[in-house]
Structure 1
Amino acid sequence: MTSPSKPTAAGRVLAILDTFTDRHDSLTLSSIARRAGLTLPTAHRLVGELTDWGALHRQSDGEYTIGLKVLELGSLAGHRLRLKQLAHPYLHGLHHATNTNIHLSVSIQQDVLYLESMLTPGGAPVTSRFGGRWPMHATATGRVLLAAATPAELEASLRQPLMAYSPHTVTDPDELRHLLAEIRQRGVAVAYDQIATGVIALAAPITGPHGRAVAAVGITAPKDRFTARQLIPPLLTTARRISAALNGPDPDLAERELRSA
């Protein structure tokens, strides 16, 4: 049996790929080694192999980005595309009605993964895109999904380091537990200034056939132009309509696809 203290070759390769995020989409070799927990010679060898294969791309400044091969493989994730297609008309309606940034998110490890992002020129200054990730504790969609997690899943998330992205990001586990209890009671998350100052973020759960949240639809907007009272009604209506669509002719399949996204 392989010792957990010695990652397999595949584990080291995956650790390298996992170093790239929305906020770190271009990295030096030394940064990759540090973030992946590898020695510089090991990182140099594996990064070279990944670059030759096309999983990584070396730029003219010497930094690395994700290569086209990974993007091509990602495009094969048909279940994510089907989910986007199902939710798209409802998200587009919400985007048109509110003139705000709209997101469709699912949970992945301790993060939310964006399956769809519809951005508005001059909207909230929060970076998000299809395939992008943000920590669950700092986003409205993430908090909706945390509120629906099992007690074991929730405590595992709250045991992780909770980073601050603005002076107002909630990083205290007890305060987060209180906020999540409010979300369960109200059925909607409202957060201010968590990723960037001047931003209001709202989210509502998309539920599967058994009533548990399997995804979340969210809004981010400048808080000096919008209020929660304005945005909650259309947000909840959209979440209910997507939930109804998911629970259509084959609800079990729809829920499986959301959970595997």
Structure 2
Amino acid sequence: MVQDSADSNDRSAGSRIAVIQKAVNAMDALLAAGDGLTPTEVADAIDTNRSTAFRLLTSLEYAGMLSRDESTGKYHLGMKLLQYGSAVRASMAIVKIAEPTLMTLRDKTRQTALLAVRENWGARCLLRLPGPEVDVVSWTTGQWLPMHVGAAPQALMSAMSDTEVERYLADNKDWSTRQGERSPDDVRDSLQEIRRRGWALNMESITKGVASLGTIVRDRHDAPLCAISVSGLQYHYTGTDLEQTAASVMAAASDISRRMQD
């Protein structure tokens, strides 16, 4: 009887974990979709039947995690998730320390300023401060980008060892950018240039007419902590303007690094 009870508890715990995983998968599918999904579309995305998907979506809606558009029947991520995101960001020491410097950088360059950390084979944006001249929304807070796309992700990749870089080049299957496919050799060449000058430059690889420039923030042991970048209209990223922007971003990275050590 004791063994039967233990087996039953194990099965119950496993079932609860499976339900939680399905809920996470459903929200991931809605995040990727952007424009919402119907229960049938969610069922297809998470490989389950429609009735199970509908019950799951209804429960998540009741909890405030999702909202439903009555006119289309589609589900969207709910406003409550904004509270979670805000709380996560507020708890991160690196954001608290870097934000004043990034605000100064934004005001000086008049560009959108961003902070990102490495996450697996990519970078996740933790902080985005809209620029006074143009608000670049191609990479928003919480969004993830692969290593070979964008200035901050490429800056983070430049801090990886050659062995890690080669693993990424071997593992990655999608080399698409707005300007077309990149190749592993393209990435290797750009990494050499980034390491030589200390910053990465992205010209329209995500959004037409928009460029970005990013660099690494390091700790006292020279290990990478995060990357910062600025993003704006492409004409700011040529000639003398480019040199001034690069100098400003590099100075901001040094200031954040110093603040992290205080």
TM-score range normalised by the length of the shorter chain? 0.7 to 0.9
Among 19, 26, 34, the alignment partner of 2:29 is 19
Structure-2 residue corresponding to 1:213: 224
Alpha-carbon shift at residue 81 of structure 1 (Å): 4.5
Conserved? CA contact 2:111–2:130, under 8 Å: yes
User: Which SS does the other structure have where 1:196 is aligned?
Assistant: coil
CA shift in 2, pair 1:28/1:163, >3 Å: farther
Deviation at 1:22, TM superposition (A): 7.3
Q: Report how far residue 152 of structure 1 moved.
A: 5.7
Whole-angstrom distance in 1 between the partners of 2:48 and 2:225: 35
Matched with 2:39 is 29
Question: Contact 1:26–1:64 at 8 Å: present in 2 too?
Answer: yes
From 153, 158, 166, the equivalent of 1:147 is 158
| Distance of aligned partners of 1:33 and 1:111 in 2 relative to their CA distance in 1, 3 Å threshold | farther
**CA–CA separation in structure 2 for the residues paired with 1:203 and 1:126:** 16
Partner of 1:52: 62
Larger Rg, first or second structure (1 or 2): 2
1:225 and 1:135 map into 2 onto residues whose CA distance is 24
> What corresponds to 2:14 in structure 1?
none
Contact 1:28/1:63 (8 A) holds in 2: yes
Higher mean Cα deviation, 40-49 or 86-95?
A: 40-49
What pairs with 1:64-75 in structure 2 (closer than 5 Å)?
64-75=75-86
Cα offset for 1:130? 2.4
Q: Could you tell me which residue of structure 1 aligns to residue 19 of structure 2?
A: 9
2:234 is the counterpart of 1:223: yes
Aligned-pair identity in percent equals 25
SS at match of 2:148: helix
Following superposition, the deviation at residue 115 of structure 1 comes to 1.5
- Cα offset for 1:150? 4.3
Is the aligned partner of 1:94 residue 2:108?
A: no
Indicate if the aligned counterparts of 2:203 and 2:212 stay in contact, CA closer than 8 A.
yes
Q: Match for residue 252 of structure 1?
A: none
Distance in 1 between the 2:87 and 2:160 partners? 28
Q: Deviations over 1:151-179 (max 9, x none)?
A: 5643454323325341x255322211221
**For 1:31-56, what per-residue CA distance to the aligned partner results, in whole angstroms no more than 9, with x for missing partners?**
43344444444433322222222221
Residue 83 of structure 1, CA deviation: 2.5
1:51-83 CA distance string (max 9 Å, x none): 222221112232222223433333332664432
Deviation at 1:218, TM superposition (A): 0.4
Distance (whole Å) between structure 2 residues aligned to residue 31 and residue 136 of structure 1:
29
Write the letter of the residue equivalent to 1:245: R
Aligned equivalents of 1:111, 1:21: Cα separation in 2: 17
Of 139-148 and 20-29, more deviation after overlay is shown by 20-29
Q: Which residue of 2 aligns with 1:162?
A: 174
Q: Per the alignment, in what secondary structure is the counterpart of residue 224 of structure 1?
A: helix
> 2:7: which partner in 1?
none
Contact 1:21/1:132, CA 8 A, preserved across alignment: no
Could you say which residue in structure 1 is the equivalent of 2:53? Answer: 43
Contact persistence 1:169–1:193 (CA under 8 A): no
CA contact (8 A) 1:58 1:64 kept: yes
